[in-house]
């Protein structure tokens, strides 16, 4: 006799049991839709991937700076009669303390806050003391930077993108390091940049500001730099005759800053890993190569940051020490074959701060 006979008091359970057994396949098929999905394990993404949205937004920013077709008047340059004057964005790229922050404080104190903005990209893997003053609240979200990699390009683009989005009146973007110091007053620098960046009339009959960026093509070591990622890796986007070198530190006009943050084609090549790390300095090639290919006439092809490569070691330029700081050194560093004067100089060791402060008012900021 079956346990669930018609005479059994449990007979009503039989249909329920049979229904349950028959429904198992259906429940199995529906389970993925009923139960919450299992979380995926974390995956490693390229460092630059989460910057794409930032760069896209910045590339969509308005390209014309304020007063794009004429030089600002003297009152606008030195005063504030125009309520919306063009500004200079000072972009500090650092992996250590901003040792010369007190000197920069004095520099900015000589200018109007309506004429500049400050942005800092500090390597988050390094403990950096807050400098205060004009640097307060001006640190942007940053990532680690490493030599012989594209991380310094990414950091520079990140600074440009934040400055573009932060203030539509940023007309020029000056990239500086923690080892850079000013060689003139703010007023002198502001007037020089706007006055000497205007070329002759273009075929469009419009005046446009040029960028101050070094672009060189005849260096003996250029081939080693070109093949640092592999002999044919840069092709077809960048031929060897298009490959350029220049100082890592520049002053870009706004339209070129927009171009840099929106560019993708060359960036895919320059972010590839270097095989010959001794000959790989992506930050010295990406910007001059890109602008040389896209708008060579829109660039001065020289930099306004003085650097001394005499006695350089391990790819680093000469560093000035405390005993060398003097008025004569400042006068010598100002001398330029391309422009009326260099505006910045590097590299200075941290112990140069006090002697630089001692001559700041009497020499550096006295133009």
We report the CATH number of the domain holding residue 120 as 3.90.550
User: At residue 204, does pLDDT exceed 90?
Assistant: no
Q: How far apart are CA 249 and CA 305, in angstroms?
A: 7
DSSP for 282-351? GGGTHHHHHHHHH-GGGEEES-SEEE--TT-BTTBPP-B-GGG-SHHHHHHHH--SSSS---EEE-B-GG
Can you tell me the mean pLDDT for 258-278? 94
Residue 240 tokens, joined: 């060897």
Q: Is residue 199 part of a domain?
A: yes
Helix (H, G, I), strand (E, B) or coil at 16: helix
In tens, the pLDDT along 46-63 reads 444 478 888 888 888 765
pTM over 0.75: yes
Q: Are 282 and 153 in contact (CB under 8 A)?
A: yes
More confident: 110 or 28: 110
Can you tell me the mean pLDDT for 79-105? 88
Q: Is residue 25 part of a domain?
A: no
Q: Is residue 299 part of a domain?
A: yes
Q: How far apart are CA 40 and CA 327, in angstroms?
A: 62
Environment class of 354 (CB within 10 Å of its CB; exposed 0-12, middle 13-18, buried 19+): exposed
User: At residue 175, does pLDDT exceed 90?
Assistant: yes
Can you tell me the mean pLDDT for 78-91? 75
Q: What is the pLDDT of residue 64?
A: 55
Q: How far apart are CA 126 and CA 150, in angstroms?
A: 19
Q: What is the pLDDT of residue 33?
A: 35
Residue 54 tokens, joined: 């930032």
Q: How far apart are CA 225 and CA 218, in angstroms?
A: 12
Percent of the chain topping pLDDT 90: 68
Can you tell me the mean pLDDT for 116-125? 96
Q: Is residue 40 part of a domain?
A: no
The crossing angle, in degrees rounded to 10, of helices 151-166 and 52-59 is: 50
Q: Is residue 330 part of a domain?
A: no
Q: What is the pLDDT of residue 50?
A: 72
Domain count, the chain: 1
In tens, the pLDDT along 138-166 reads 999 999 999 878 999 999 999 999 999 99
Q: Is residue 224 part of a domain?
A: yes
In tens, the pLDDT along 332-349 reads 999 999 999 999 999 999
Q: What is the pLDDT of residue 74?
A: 40
Can you tell me the mean pLDDT for 167-189? 97
Q: Is residue 53 part of a domain?
A: yes
Q: Is residue 43 part of a domain?
A: no
Helix boundaries (H) for the chain? 13-34, 52-59, 74-78, 101-109, 151-166, 186-196, 222-226, 254-262, 265-270, 286-294, 327-334, 353-358
Domain hosting residue 123, numbered range: 49-64+85-305
* Contacts with 274 (C-beta within 8 Å, 6 or more apart), sequence order: 148, 149, 228, 229, 280, 282
User: At residue 176, does pLDDT exceed 80?
Assistant: yes
- Residues 73-92 as b/e (b if ≥16 CB within 10 A, e otherwise) read eeebbbeeeeeebbbbbbbb
More confident: 109 or 74: 109
Tokens 């592999």 appear where? Answer: 230
Q: What is the pLDDT of residue 14?
A: 62
Q: How far apart are CA 65 and CA 58, in angstroms?
A: 14
Q: What is the pLDDT of residue 70?
A: 46
């Amino acid at each position: 006799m079956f346990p669930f006979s018609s005479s059994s008091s449990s007979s009503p359970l039989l249909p329920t049991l049979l229904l349950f057994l028959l429904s198992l396949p259906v429940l199995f098929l529906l389970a993925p839709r009923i139960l919450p999905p299992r979380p995926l394990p974390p995956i490693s993404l390229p460092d630059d991937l989460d910057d794409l949205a930032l760069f896209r937004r910045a590339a969509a920013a308005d390209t014309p700076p304020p007063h794009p077709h004429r030089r600002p008047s003297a009152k606008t340059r030195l005063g504030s009669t125009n309520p919306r004057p063009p500004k200079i964005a000072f972009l500090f790229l650092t992996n250590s303390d901003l040792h010369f922050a007190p000197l920069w404080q004095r520099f900015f104190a000589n200018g109007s806050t309506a004429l500049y903005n400050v942005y800092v990209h500090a390597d988050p893997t390094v403990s950096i003391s807050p400098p205060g003053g004009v640097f307060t609240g001006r640190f942007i979200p940053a990532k680690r930077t490493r030599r012989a990699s594209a991380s310094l390009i990414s950091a520079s683009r990140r600074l440009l993108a934040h400055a573009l989005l932060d203030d539509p009146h940023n007309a020029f973007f000056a990239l500086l390091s923690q080892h850079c110091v000013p060689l003139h007053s703010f007023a002198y620098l502001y007037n020089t940049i706007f006055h000497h960046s205007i070329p002759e009339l273009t075929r469009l009959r419009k005046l446009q500001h040029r960028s101050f960026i070094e672009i060189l093509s005849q260096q003996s070591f250029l081939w080693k730099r070109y093949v640092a990622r592999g002999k044919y890796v840069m092709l077809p986007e960048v031929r060897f005759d298009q490959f350029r070198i220049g100082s890592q530190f520049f002053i870009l006009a706004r339209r070129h800053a927009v171009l840099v943050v929106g560019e993708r084609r060359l960036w895919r090549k320059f972010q590839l890993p270097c095989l010959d790390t001794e000959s790989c300095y992506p930050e010295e090639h990406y910007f001059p190569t890109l602008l040389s290919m896209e708008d060579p006439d829109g660039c001065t092809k020289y930099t306004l940051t003085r650097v001394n490569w005499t006695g350089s070691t391990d790819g680093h330029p000469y560093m000035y020490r405390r005993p060398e700081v003097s008025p004569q050194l400042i006068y010598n560093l100002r001398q330029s074959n391309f422009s009326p004067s260099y505006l910045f100089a590097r590299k200075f060791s941290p112990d140069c701060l006090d002697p630089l402060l001692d001559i700041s008012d009497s020499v550096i900021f006295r133009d």
